[in-house]
Structure 1
Amino acid sequence: MDNRKKNIKIFTGITTGVVVLVTLIVAFVLPTTAEEKRGKHEPVPEGSYIATTIISILENYHYSKPQINDDVSKSLFDEYIKKLDPNKLYFTADDIKIFSEYKTSLDDQLKTGNTDFAFVVYRRFLQRLEERNDYVKKNINNKFDFSKDETFVVKREGVSWAKDKNELDEIWRKHIKNQLLQAKLQEMQQQKDNEKKKANKKDSKQDENTDPQNSNREVADEKDNREVADEKDNREVADEKDSKKDWKQTAEERIIKRYKNYHTFMSGNDGYYILEAYLTSLTSLFDPHSNYLNWRTLSNFQISLSLSLQGIGAVISSENGYPKISSVVPGGPADRQGELKAGYYIVSVTQENGEQTSVIDMPLNQVVQKIRGEKGTKVTLTVLKNLQDVPFNIVITRDEVKLTERAAKGDTREITLNGGEKKNIGVITLPSFYRDFDAFEREDPNAKSTTRDVKRIIEDMQKKNVEGLVIDLRSNGGGSLDEVVDLVGLFIPQGAVVQVKNLSGEIKVREDNDDNFAYKMPLVVITDTFSASASEIFAGAIQDYKRGIIVGNNTYGKGTVQSLFGLGRKPKAGALKYTISKFYRPTGASTQQKGVAPDITYPTFVDQNKYGESSLPHVMPWDTIKSLSPNQEVFNAHKSLAQIKKQARERMDNDAKFQTLKSYIAKVRERQQDNAVSLNLEKRRTMQEQEQKWYEQIEKILGQQEEEDAVKKDEDLFLEESVSVLRDLMQAK
């Protein structure tokens, strides 16, 4: 491993002796099929080398230095089964019982390079997929009574395995019924939306006709425009009819196709995919950011780093078998389109050519491949706002996330202090911590850099005599460690910014001591749950030095660093991404799991415990190291913090929008706790209409909803409150 450094890429952001027994499983548990004879779902030649090499790297170089033993074997067993069947919809209790005979021997198998167990389980999984596929085809056209009071458990992770085929059939009867019910509700919603569009269009024409000037102009232009308008109207009517016709013909067929495609897709995976799924189940036991990349995944990963493939600009995780939007990348295609939100679940992905693929239970890396595509092409995501909701479509045009759209932006505004004195302040929006490393290596004086851009923005602001700053880090997922150290240096005279501890216990301190300090003005920093990694380092340092006030919501909590190590020697060996170090604040507190807690908290339904690092399985723990005792008396923005917090709380308590928002957030959170949904059409429809009103009100309050005149509201409730906090800080100073 001495040549390891030559093969490492560093990532700081959201980035035996029982061979005979296993052979008996292969012979006894599953029949041999034609596909297996061809070796498609059999161990790969490189598998033994890959497995033993990964075991060695994990035990010797992973930050936690885990020991691969019987306890790990038990956890690996559970994790791999969960990866294949997270909602317990395919395997039965009998399957698990047979597999469980080897629950404590998987560690021994891997140490000798034996990965047979992964392939045995996968072949049984394909067999169960085929059985469920047949069940759907035979039962989809049954008469389902949607007036009956039944419920379906949508989050099945914590329930017991079905004891036999009959019990599993009953689960699937309700599973199919739920999907048909969603289809009915979606059709009803589409009809309602179409009627609303027609009514709005009719009202718009009537308004135009009542204006004599518009009427005269219409008469003059009518002859030239009639054909174009008629063609457009006819096309819209035709599209609507085709859509309705297609829906009526394919409601049941779509579900059949969904499971047929899923079975075909999973059957198409070869031994390299199966090995990746199994070994990633192992690596993820030690932290959620460590995983094995097979040679195909590694190639796609490298392409994504070079931005040669375009996507939608969203971070995707998994929950209960559903791909879930963890965050939307600022400036990306999804962000510009505006409909996709964090917390939405993806049901299916439809390509521009009409090919639709269900992505429920699909591995995340393959979901990402379905969403990616050529720049300029469209992809349709069928999504749910929550697992009890009705699915709807969002069409996004693929594009790259341009650096210019993720660059820092600034604006100035005027505020009034209590005595009536006018002051100018600056607002800087910072979507990422970016740096053009190639240009820096060339010593290009115009190299793109977060710190350089922010400094230039503030210098321009100072021409307008700004006396305070708000820095908005919401949805900033991190980036360059060098940039965050330099940026903190603009606001503190000197000192440690972050401590980095490696697996041997060595601590390296990254500090700013290059005379970069430039700005003494009062500072407020806004964070949310999607402020991660470098954002947390910045917010933590500003808070530790009492340099400014942190407002918003608890940050994500990613305080670890990963390296990518190519396994080499074999052409299809792939690579291992694993955790090598942890971040700590100047005070010695880790940013891992807990993140940075704001001094003043805003209401949100995006809970850090549900969307942050702490929501992931097998997260590395929070801990502390020795404090570097940051100099907190240089500015001491916290001197009046108690009074400023009191003023903010009184403002929010007396603000109708904040109070209404809190009430709707409470309703949404309560609904999200439901583990089961009604299969009664009227009850479900009532729930749908109720939830739709809640979300509309939340979006309206947050300034995310378009008004009837199609003019988007500019007001940002949380930004306005942050400006008020800055005003209080300037007043106190």
Structure 2
Amino acid sequence: MNKILALALLVTCTLQAQNNVKACSTFSKINDILQKRHFKPKPVDDSLSVYVFNTVMEELDENKTLFLQQEYDKLAVHKYKIDDYVLAGNDCSFFSDFISAYKSALQRNRDFVLEISKEPLPYTTKDTIYYSKKNYPFHTDAQRIKKFLRKKITYDILEDVAKISKNRDSLSTHIEALGKISKQKIFDTYLCKLDNQLSPSEGFDSSVYNLFFSTFCNYFDPHSTYFNYNEKASFVSSISTDNYSLGLYVSQNEKEEIIVEELVPGGPAYRTEKIDKGDQLIKLAANNTEYTVSCTSLEAITEIVSSDSYKQVQLTLRKKDGTIYSVSLEKIIMKVDDHSVYSFVLSDKDPVGYIKIPSFYTAFDNESNRGCADDVAKEVAKLKKDNIKGLIIDLQYNGGGSMDEVIRMAGMFINFGPIAIVTDKNKSYNVVKDYNRGMLYNGPMVVLVNGFTASASEFFAGVMQDYNRALIAGTTTLGKATMQTILPLEENNDEDFVKVTLDKFYRVTGKSSQYVGIVPDVKLPAFFDNLFPRESSMPTAIKNDSISFNVSFTKMPDTKNTEVIAQSKARTGKNTDFELINTINAQIYKLYDSNKQPLLITFKNVFTDVHSMDSIWKDISAAAEKQQDFSIKNTSYADDTLKYDEYGKSANEFRMKAAKIDVYIKEAINILNDINHYKNQ
């Protein structure tokens, strides 16, 4: 038996040594590409080592409830040496230390959870959970980790019970029975998560390698990253195609909860009239199997939601106010154009056009061989036939897309001239120009943006602002003015890829929106705006700068912009919708900026904590559903075509409703009315 065990250990060690050699080679190749192709390559030195080490450790053990101080100290011998390992390219045995320590710590926590599951857990305790933004040290005694896990599990059980209902007295009466059910669920979740961490789909060793590779790339900038084959395929397949769908998209929030990110108009989820954006997904049931979301990977959930292998799916969800509900959905073939450009005619006085651009897609990823710019041109033509007196271009939540499309589109709204300046790592400057004289539309324009407006969308907004072609309204944009491409590590290698930042864009003024974003001419408050992650919040983001590069361009004349902006500021200062946003934000920011008070773990305290935000969410939901006082209708062309398109009708109704409750669209109409007022004087 001892000989068999020794042989097994030898085989395992040999295999890991071989994997480390391969990982070392991959590391070197990643660095080679980044040094040769990255817009702003960084030296591989101690600063890189510290960043990679600290980021990896935080990713593995963010709350310091996994590793002991002595285990951290053993790994910390590599803190200033990772750069040496990469440059040498022949010794990556350090990976074994991280793999071994991480696996051992996970297994220890799993054993602790099993032990706690067999112990009595009173629902009224003298334990207290402390919340702090301070960086606490690692524990030196494993039993302290177990004690923390026991407290956290007890809280999670009470929290789960508290979310069942808003009636505390009723829940308290049945706390033992409800707690027993929740206890089983919480322990199953903890063990499931740990099992997933111990047995990830790509293999345990590979998961650690991939984390190091991606973190290494992120040191150069937050948009450069490593892809293995599956990750690259998933990234590329995110381009829309016709397939079976529930008509919803899901994402993971900062609490690692799976939430509904978006509903597709006309899809099965939308037709229930129950599911809302932001609802939390709790359970899925498909093909006679039930999946608890809290211990199922986002990849697996996305597969169930998107794959045609699961035709019928039952979802259990929780709304922000705590209401739990279930829906049964059957997938249908969804059209590719659910993210396409669309338009309406709006009015509370003179008719104005409204064009929503969800993303800057290109003909390559659209089966109808239409790109975004062509679609915008067609919508403008439709709107002009309806005699619009102004145009709103809505880029809220538009994360970017094809630069070719946005360059073509920007040219449609200026007479002619330079649009941007592009530079690479060699400081080779290329002026991007619009050579086509004339404008597709020459009336007044407002461009709506927010903190999720990024990349190509910021490019367009910047051009319109620099040419004085449109007033930009909303909140400061993300701040990404760089372009990436995906490269294989070497020829004929279909396993390893790097998404690398190649170029940086500058505005025709020589300024850049990189890091700082597009600052709107008309600033409008938005819920949680200060808490949204922007480029400036990313520690390795490429910083902002300007260049002295003279290009000649002709601005549009200033049609009383100063007066129009002042009027908007005065108007929004008295607007009850914007006042509510500012009031709620003040409450949220105060809670976020201060340390939360220690919480004694009793059901009464946990219930109060769980429901403390109910009234705020109720106010936010009411504000989000409030209809604005302007009219909305289809273009004359759309009215004719929608008569025979049931899917189109459903999608159109959803889009109309979304526009009608958008306070920013209402203010954009007001701005256009003010511009026209001054123009007609």
In the superposition, relative to structure 1, how do residues 335 and 576 fare at CA in structure 2: closer, same or farther (>3 Å)? farther
Residue 361 of structure 2 corresponds to 434
Of 124, 133, 155, the residue aligned with 2:110 is: 133
* Residue pairs, 1:360-509, within 5 angstroms: 373-374=307-308, 376-378=311-313, 380=315, 402-416=335-349, 423-437=350-364, 447-509=369-431
**8 Å contact 2:258–2:293 — kept in the other structure?**
no
2 CA distance for matches of 1:329 and 1:533? 23
| Partner deviation per Cα, 1:106-135 (whole Å, 9 max, x = no partner) | 112223243332332122212111221222
The 1:299/1:426 distance shift into structure 2, 3 A limit, reads: closer
In the superposition, relative to structure 1, how do residues 97 and 630 fare at CA in structure 2: closer, same or farther (>3 Å)? same
Tell me if 1:251 matches 2:182.
yes
C-alpha deviation, 1:178, in angstroms: 2.2
Counterpart amino acid of residue 78 in structure 2: Y
Query: Given the superposition, is the C-alpha separation of residues 620 and 328 from structure 1 closer, same or farther in structure 2, using an over 3 Å criterion?
Result: farther
CA distance, structure 2, for counterparts of residue 164 and residue 393 of structure 1: 43
Distance 1:35 1:285 in 2: 35
**Where in structure 2 are the equivalents of 1:611-650 lying within 5 Å?**
611-626=533-548, 628=550, 631=553, 633-637=555-559, 640-650=560-570
- Which residue identity lines up with residue 670 of structure 2 in the other structure? S
Secondary structure, aligned partner of 2:290:
coil
Distance between the aligned counterparts of 1:725 and 1:160, measured in 2? 53
Q: Aligned equivalents of 1:516 and 1:437: distance in 2?
A: 27
Matched with 2:672 is 726
Alignment match of 1:260 (pick from 180, 191, 216): 191
Cα-to-partner distance string for 1:294-349 (whole Å, 9 max, x where unaligned): 23323433444475887876585774x7368796487697994785657x8x7966
- One-letter identity of the residue aligned with 1:701: A
Q: Retained in 2: the 8 A contact 1:608–1:614?
A: no
Asked if the contact 1:523/1:547 (under 8 Å) is kept, the reply is: yes
TM superposition shift of 1:38: 8.7
Q: Conserved in 2, the CA contact under 8 Å of 1:331 and 1:402? A: no
Does the Cα contact within 8 Å between 2:354 and 2:392 map onto a contact in 1? yes
Q: Is the 8 A contact 1:497 1:585 kept in 2?
A: yes
CA separation of 1:355/1:72 partners in 2, compared to 1, >3 Å: closer, same or farther?
Answer: same
Give the 3-state SS of the residue equivalent to 2:447 in structure 1.
strand
Matches within 5 A, 1:219-238: none
Indicate if the aligned counterparts of 2:259 and 2:281 stay in contact, CA closer than 8 A.
no
Tell me the secondary structure at the aligned position of residue 625 of structure 2: coil
Q: Deviations over 1:481-530 (max 9, x none)?
A: 11111111121101222222111111222221123522210001111111
> For 2:409 and 2:41, how far apart are their aligned partners in 1?
33
Change (3 A) 1:129 1:104: same
Partner residue, 1:300:
234
The equivalences for 1:279-298 within 5 A come to 279-298=213-232
Flag structure 1 segments of 5+ consecutive residues without an equivalent.
1-31, 195-243, 417-422, 441-445
State how far apart, in whole Å, the 1-side matches of 2:672 and 2:666 are: 10
Aligned residue identity for 2:356:
T
Larger mean Cα displacement after TM superposition, 96-105 or 537-546: 96-105
- SS of the residue corresponding to residue 648 of structure 1 reads helix
2:212 to 258, 264, 278: 278
- Give the whole-Å Cα distance in 2 for the aligned partners of 1:510 and 1:369: 40
User: Which shifted more, 364-373 or 403-412?
Assistant: 364-373
- What does residue range 48-447 of structure 1 map to in structure 2 within 5 Å? 48-111=24-87, 112-140=89-117, 141-146=119-124, 150-153=128-131, 158-189=135-166, 250-269=181-200, 270=203, 271-305=205-239, 307=241, 314=249, 316=251, 319=254, 322=256, 328=262, 336=270, 341=277, 350=284, 352=286, 353-358=289-294, 373-374=307-308, 376-378=311-313, 380=315, 402-416=335-349, 423-437=350-364, 447=369
Equivalent pair of 2:158/2:179 in contact (CA under 8 Å): no
Deviation at 1:63, TM superposition (A): 1.5
Deviation at 1:433, TM superposition (A): 1.4
Which residue identity is paired with 1:186? K
Distance apart, 1:472 and its partner CA: 1.1
Which of 588, 594, 600 aligns to 1:668? It is: 588
| Aligned position for 2:512 | 590
TM-score, length-scaled by structure 2? 0.81
Amino acid in the other structure paired with 2:574:
N
Alpha-carbon distance between aligned partners in 1 of 2:293 and 2:13, rounded to the nearest angstrom: 28
TM-score by length of 1: 0.76
Instruction: Report SS of the residue matched to 1:169.
Output: helix
Q: Distance in 1 between matches of 2:558 and 2:268?
A: 40
Over 3 Å counting, the alpha-carbon distance change for 1:151 and 1:273 in structure 2 is closer
Choose 448-457 or 389-398, whichever is displaced more: 389-398
Task: Measure, in 1, the Cα distance between the counterparts of 2:316 and 2:388.
Answer: 44
SS of the residue corresponding to residue 686 of structure 1 reads: helix
Worse-matched range after superposition: 647-656 or 284-293:
647-656
Gaps (5+ residues) in structure 2? 1-7, 628-653
| Pair 1:563-2:485 in alignment | yes
Contact 1:426 1:470 in 2 (8 A): yes
Give, in angstroms, the shift of residue 152 of structure 1. 3.7
Q: CA RMSD in A?
A: 3.9
SS of equivalent residue, structure 1 residue 636: coil
Equivalent residue, structure 2, for 1:545: 467
Deviation at 1:357, TM superposition (A): 4.7
**Could you say if the C-alpha distance between residues 712 and 471 of structure 1 is closer, same or farther in structure 2, counting changes exceeding 3 Å?**
closer
Compared CA separation, residues 619 and 47, structure 1 to 2 (3 A):
same
Tell me the percent identity. 23
Query: How far apart in 2 are the matches of 1:193 and 1:719?
Result: 44
Match of 1:577 in 2: 499
The code of the aligned residue for 1:434 comes to: Y
Distance 2:470 2:241 in 1: 36
Task: Check conservation: 1:586, 1:629, Cα contact below 8 A.
Answer: yes
Specify whether residues 333 and 116 from structure 1 end up closer, same or farther in structure 2 by C-alpha distance, changes over 3 A only.
farther
SS state of the match for residue 86, structure 1?
A: coil
Deviation at 1:144, TM superposition (A): 3.4
Cα shift readout 1:634-671 (whole Å, capped 9, x = no counterpart): 2334xx23322222222222222322232122222323
Aligned in 2, Cα 1:610/1:584: closer, same or farther, shift over 3 Å? same
Task: Give the aligned residue type for 2:345.
Answer: T
| CA–CA distance in structure 2, aligned partners of residues 127 and 310 of structure 1 | 42
CA distance 1:33–1:281, change in 2 (3 Å): farther
* 1:16 match: none
In the alignment, structure 1 residue 657 sits paired with structure 2 residue 580: no
Q: Aligned partners of 1:602, 1:193: CA distance in 2, in Å?
A: 43
**Closer, same or farther in 2 for the Cα pair 1:437/1:370, shift >3 Å?**
closer
The aligned amino acid for 2:678 is A
Any residues of structure 2 matched to 1:676-715 within 5 Å, and which? 676=596, 678=599, 679-703=601-625, 714-715=660-661
Q: Residues 558 and 381 of structure 1: is their aligned pair in 2 closer, same or farther, counting only changes over 3 Å?
A: farther
C-alpha distance after superposition, 1:666-695 (max 9, x if no partner): 222323345546344334433444412211
- CA offsets, 1:513-559, max 9 Å, x none? 12352221000111111111111011111111111111111111121
Aligned amino acid, residue 405 of structure 2: E
Summarize the Cα distance change of 1:184–1:83 in structure 2 as closer, same or farther, 3 Å threshold: same
Amino acid at match of 1:142: P
Letter of the 2:224 counterpart: S
